Amino acid sequence: MSLSLPVHLLIHFLFSLLAGFIVWRIWDKPLLSVFFGFLGGFLIDLDHFIDYYWAFGWGWNWQYFKSGYQFLKSGNVYVLFHGWEYVAILVLAVFLLKNKYLKTIFLSLALGIFFHLVTDVIIDDTPIKSYSIIYRLRHNFAVQYINSPVNYEKYLKKKAQIKF
């Protein structure tokens, strides 16, 4: 499924609000719930700036960034905040902690990240395993192991056309 960047971001925004709303209904902490749902479900994408910086340094090119050229140049997909492991650790913490404020924060983050990753898997046609930090680390974050075969073929064609 191919969506424009604004639509993609809108979906993440709405699901991040949903994450916050769900936790708000559980523990009645609206500001914490919505803020950390937004952090986990929307601001998680700030890690794309890290990938961009590692590929291009401080020079900024909006077209390169929004087209994902950082992945073409480096051949790697780090997106360090995108990981199922974070969801599992945060949910485990929710069960282990007694403090309602911390439970609210951790569950809001976990749900936000979970919704974000699920929508990325669907929208970007990315294999579920590709959002495992451990899996990506085991494969040195190489694009060829992270993309679906169809997306990897598109990646190779696009990379052959681009000169940096």
pLDDT tens figures, 17-66 = 999 999 999 999 999 999 999 999 999 999 999 999 999 999 999 999 98
Backbone angles phi, psi at 76, to 5 degrees: -130, 155
* Predicted local distance difference test score (pLDDT) of residue 164: 76
Sorted by where each begins, the domain ranges of the chain are 5-161
What is the average pLDDT value for the chain, to the nearest integer? 95
Spell out the residues 6+ positions from residue 163 whose beta carbon is closer than 8 angstroms to its own: none
Q: Return the higher-pLDDT residue of 136 and 2.
A: 136
Identify which of 89, 85, 75 has the alpha carbon closest to the alpha carbon of residue 139. Answer: 75
The residue with tokens 């971001």 is: 9
Cα→Cα distances 140→51, 68, 131, 145, Å? 14, 19, 13, 9
Report d(CA 101, CA 29) in Å as an integer.
8
Statement: residue 123 has pLDDT above 70: yes
Task: Give the H or E element holding residue 23.
Answer: helix 5-27
Q: What secondary structure letter does DSSP report for 80? A: T
Please count the CA atoms within 13 angstroms of the CA of 70 that sit on its side-chain side.
23
Query: Bridge-partner residues for 76, per DSSP?
Result: 142
Give the residue with greater pLDDT, 116 vs 154.
Answer: 116
Q: Tokens representing 5?
A: 């960047």
Confidence tier at 1 by pLDDT (50, 70, 90):
low
Question: pLDDT tens digits for 54-101?
Answer: 999 999 999 999 888 999 999 999 999 999 999 999 999 999 999 999
- For 134, the token pair is 């451990």
Predicted TM-score (pTM) of this structure? 0.94
Instruction: Inform me whether the pLDDT recorded for 12 exceeds 80.
Output: yes
Distance between alpha carbon 57 and the CA centroid of its chain, in Å? Answer: 21
- Model confidence at 163: pLDDT above 90: no
pLDDT score for 97: 97
Segment 94-112 shows an average pLDDT of 98
